[in-house]
């Protein structure tokens, strides 16, 4: 008596279909996991870029008006905050003399790193830093949306100072600024990050709330 061993055609088809279903499920899970990891990576990258640029802005603004005891025309208390607008700022400091090897000389060198600004190009969506007469991009194109960089200026009472005329603070209004809030939003595709940091100007700590 012959006994046949093996699988029938129906059993083979069932096994094949089951294997294909398992492979499809694993593939779907793998793709979903990959998308989630990629989304998380982009989110972390945006947050890190936001934090890095904000730290750079904070470091420069905090030292605005630095003026050691050197005779000259530069007045750190008045000239440290040269431009104060909603979406643009320029700060000045007496860091060195005619060359970087020299000690501060009490005179502003407008073509050097004694004059620094931050602004956003609306057409490119790029946040840039101006150093003297040079412009250096700090972010890639299309990473800063309209209104993504905002400066708010506060007096010694922590009240926001708004320009009476135009969009920039006047000389008298700038003289009342004790702290500056910097808000920055950057994006990468659908991912975005927003942060705001409040910076107290070192040379304005003597200002008191009346």
pTM score of the predicted model: 0.79
- Within a domain: 176: yes
What is the DSSP-derived secondary structure letter of residue 41?
H
10 pLDDT higher than 90: no
> Looking at the domain assignment, is residue 129 inside a domain?
yes
Instruction: For residue 134, give the H/E element and its range.
Output: strand 134-137
Among the listed residues 184, 185, 163, 165, the one whose alpha carbon sits nearest the alpha carbon of residue 173: 163
On whether residue 20 sits in a domain, the answer given is no
* Domain assignment of residue 61, yes or no: yes
Higher pLDDT, 7 or 111: 111
Structural domain harbouring 100: 39-204
Q: Is the pLDDT of residue 5 over 70?
A: no
In a domain, residue 209? The reply is no
pLDDT tier for residue 100 given thresholds of 50, 70 and 90: low
Percent of the chain with pLDDT over 70: 93
Counting the structural domains of the chain, the total is 1
- Residue 131, in any domain of the structure: yes
Residues in the chain: 210
């Amino acid at each position: 008596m012959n006994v046949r061993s093996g699988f029938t055609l129906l059993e083979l088809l069932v096994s094949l279909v089951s294997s294909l279903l398992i492979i499809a499920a694993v593939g779907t899970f793998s793709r979903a996991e990959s998308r989630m990891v990629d989304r998380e990576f982009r989110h972390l990258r945006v947050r890190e870029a936001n934090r890095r640029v904000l730290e750079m802005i904070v470091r420069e603004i905090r030292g605005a008006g630095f003026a050691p005891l050197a005779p000259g025309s530069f007045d750190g208390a008045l000239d440290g905050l040269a431009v104060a607008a909603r979406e643009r700022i320029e700060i000045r400091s007496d860091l060195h003399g005619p060359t970087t090897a020299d000690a501060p000389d009490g005179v502003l060198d407008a073509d050097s790193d004694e004059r620094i600004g931050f602004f956003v190009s609306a057409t490119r969506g790029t946040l840039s830093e101006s150093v003297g007469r040079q412009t250096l991009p700090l972010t890639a194109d299309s990473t800063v949306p309209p209104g993504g960089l905002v400066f708010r200026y506060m007096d010694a009472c922590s009240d926001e100072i708004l320009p009476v005329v135009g969009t920039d603070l006047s000389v008298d209004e700038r003289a009342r600024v004790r702290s500056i809030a910097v808000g920055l939003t950057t994006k990468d595709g659908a991912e975005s990050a927003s942060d705001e940091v409040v910076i107290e100007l070192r040379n304005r700590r003597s200002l008191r709330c009346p």
